[in-house]
Amino acid sequence: MVYLLLSLWLFVAFRVREQSQKRMRAARRKTGETHRRVWEAIQQYQAEDERIRTRRHMRMALLLRNYRRKPSVWAFNRASQWWDFIVPYFTNVQWVQNFRMSEETLDFLCIKLRPVMERQDTTFRDCVPLKKRVAIALWKLATVSITTVCRCVQQFCAAAETLLVPEQIRFPNEERFREMAVHIENRWGLPHCVGAIDGSHIPIIAPQNYHTDYFNHKGWHSIILQGVVDGKGKFWNVFTGLPGSLHDAGVLGLSTLWKLASWGNLFPPHIRNIGAVSAGYYILGDSAYPLQDWLLKSFHDTGRLTANQHLFNQEFSRARVVVENAFGRLKGRWRCLLKRNDCDTQLVKSMVLTCCALHNLCEDHGETYETSWDVPEAAAAAHEPAVAHGIEEGEMLRPSDFILQTNRQYAFAVQMNN
């Protein structure tokens, strides 16, 4: 009986185990089938996605084949916060301090230069506004030194030479000469005088060619600015660009002013009887210039001058100081003319002419001149190097034959007149 029960229990246990194993195998098959279906679905999705991407790329390639893509902007945006958010709130005093002129005068200058300086926006970047470029150039010219001249300054000076200089520095007509003579006579008592002439040195870096010709008697390299001003200190004739080693009389002899005087075309034929002398228009010069019927100098003081001659010299000096003041105000406003300029001599010449025209413009518009801008030329040139890099010091004493001959010729003429 016991054996029978044991056999029955074993049979039942075997059957239960067998059924359990069948269920487990069925569950495994079902799970495997589910995994297989999921994997097939994933593969189908990936294949469909790849087909969609391929078709999309093909359509894009077909579109781009006949489509000209707009070039992307490669340039960095300029920092303009100062101009956009600070300058608009400048007072008139701040405008003059930073740009040497009021906003109204700057706007007038922009209108004059617009035909040459106007620019159009490009694909790569928007152009800098005209007013901003003019302001940058003015700020650069007003600073003490220009080590690297930005493109704005070059464009501004080129435009000013074309449009501003011919308008602001004009040779006077007969009516204008008459007005200048009346003004000087009323102010200083010199009849028929229409201005004063002087020269000034503009520091430059030694050029590669003929560098010794530019080494002046003060011990540094320069070009010479010769200017003639009226009684109000405005330039009506400017001549610049000659080497600094030339004598003032030599510069005059090479200028258009001398040529016009030699041809008799300098002044209109307006003769006036002054005492017992018939005289035409004339300008005032210092002892460096030769005495001419159109260029007067003070009496050379030998200790034997009469009272009238002393009186004439005093009035002469008072009147001639107007040209010295004009050069002082010119360099005070535009301090790029005070320190050594590292630019090419041709560009320096353009900058000098531009600054002279700007000087006249500021004087015409009554712009404020601050006394704090006054810088003695001797102090400004005290730190100028006497010898440029790569140039032997001994070469400084050997100017070209042309310079030597010109200086001898006009120095002899001045000595004979004295």
Residues of the chain above pLDDT 90, percent:
43
Q: How many helices and strands, by DSSP H and E, does the chain display?
A: 14, 7
Question: Residue 392: its pLDDT value, please?
Answer: 44
What confidence category does residue 181 fall into, taking pLDDT thresholds of 50, 70 and 90? very high
pLDDT beyond 80 at 335: yes
Contact call for residues 347 and 154 (beta carbons, < 8 A): yes
Reported confidence tier of residue 400, pLDDT bands at 50, 70, 90? low
Tell which wins on pLDDT, 396 or 228. Answer: 228
At 391 the pLDDT is 44
C-alpha 198 chain-centroid distance: 25
Question: What does the pLDDT average to over 384-389?
Answer: 45
Top mean-pLDDT range of 94-103, 119-128, 323-332: 323-332
Q: Give pLDDT, residue 209.
A: 80
CA-CA distances (angstroms) from residue 75 to 78, 124, 149, 236? 9, 7, 21, 44
CB 224 within 8 A of CB 243: yes
Q: In the predicted model, is pLDDT for residue 383 greater than 60?
A: no
Please check the confidence at residue 13 and state whether its pLDDT lies above 60: yes
Confidence category of residue 76, pLDDT binned at 50, 70, 90: very low
End-to-end Cα distance, the chain: 165
Residue 148: predicted pLDDT: 47
Phi, psi (deg, nearest 5) at residue 280 = -95, -165
**9-13, 36-40, 376-380: the lowest-pLDDT one:** 376-380
Q: What's this model's pTM, rounded to 2 decimal places?
A: 0.73
Mean of all residue pLDDT scores within the chain = 82
Inform me whether the pLDDT recorded for 71 exceeds 70: no
pLDDT > 70: what percent of the chain?
83
pLDDT recorded at residue 271: 81
* Per-residue pLDDT at 175: 94
Q: What number is the average pLDDT over the span 25-48?
A: 83
Q: Which of 52-56, 90-94, 225-229, 364-368 has the highest mean pLDDT?
A: 225-229
Q: Which of 207, 229, 253 is nearest to 347 (CA)?
A: 207
Is residue 357 very low, low, confident or very high in pLDDT (cuts 50, 70, 90)?
Answer: very high
For the stretch 276-290, pLDDT in tens is 778 889 999 999 999
Backbone angles phi, psi at 156, to 5 degrees: -65, -45
Tens digit of pLDDT for each residue in 153-178?
889 999 999 999 999 999 999 999 99
Q: What is the pLDDT of residue 365?
A: 94
pLDDT at residue number 405: 60
For residue 179, pLDDT beyond 90: yes
